[in-house]
Structure formats: structure tokens, C-alpha cells
Amino acid sequence: MEQLKLKPCPFCGGRARVIGKRRSGSTCYCISCSSCGAKSRVAFVQPWHDSKFVAQCQAAKLWNARADNDADATKVPALFAFIQQEVPFRLENIFNIPSEKITPNIVDVCVWSLYDNSDVMFDYDSMDDHLRELLKEYDIDPDNYEEKEENGKD
């Protein structure tokens, strides 16, 4: 089995460890420094993989990316920042999903999933396809909203 490899804390060089939490009824993980308490962002255990190991790896990935970037330790990787900006925009403005349906958890799920699949993602079409798949988990079908936008009647 693959092992979690955690780099030392980017701030103090301390030893990093995985911390499990409950947040809004879901299990999530973050990586924390045992010396200074610095933390990574949290990664949620998601319904479609239901694996805490995957979530722990996601947290480790973000922690390690930050540890790599010690010139500016607080800087989020550019790709991650791009995806974070792109997801809410595409959900609301490309898919026309009403903003009240787009919960922070859905955005978080989409951002992480795109980030994890960023090696195979090469354009906006594949990004949108991926988002459509993810939205199915929440019973959101972008086609419903696109039809409304056209004001179409059968």
C-alpha cells in the first residue's frame, strides 16, 4: 500500500502529521505541524470514493506543495488558485446553476477533483465534462438549467 509522505513544516521544519476532523457531518483531514501548529487546507472524504486514504492524500498533496514552495510559503499553487477561481464561475455562468444550489461543499468537491485530475485535463470542454459528472452526485443536471436559459417550450 502507498504511504503518505509528508514533508517537514515549511515554517519551522517541524514534523507533520495527519489530523482527522468532522465538519458539517463529513469526515475530513488536514495536515498539521506538531511543533508550530501550521495547517494545510482540509480535504473531505467524498461520497464516490468513500476512502479516507484518498482524502488524506489530498491533504498531503496540498501540504507538500506548500512545503516545496518555501520562497513564499503561504502561496497556494497557481494551478489550484486557477481552479478555485474557475469552478464557481463555470457552475454559475457556464452551467447557469442557481447560486443557492451551489453549496461551499460542492465547490470544494469540484475544486479538489479537478485538481486531482489536472494531469489529464487539457481544455475547458474536458473540465466541463468532469464537472457534469461530479454534479450528478448531487442530483444537479446542468442541462435543466441550460434549457431554461433558452426559454424553450416543447
Residue ranges binding Zn ion (CB under 5 A): 9, 11-12, 14, 33, 35-36, 38
Q: Whole-number minimum distance, CB 11 to Zn ion, in Å?
A: 5
Q: Whole-number minimum distance, CB 14 to Zn ion, in Å?
A: 4
d(CA 126, CA 86): 13
- Nearer to Zn ion among residue 17 and residue 148 (C-beta): 17
Q: Whole-number minimum distance, CB 79 to Zn ion, in Å?
A: 24
- Nearer to Zn ion among residue 70 and residue 133 (C-beta): 70
Measured N-to-C along each axis, helices 142-150 and 124-136 cross at an angle, to the nearest 10 degrees, of 110
- Nearer to Zn ion among residue 65 and residue 111 (C-beta): 65
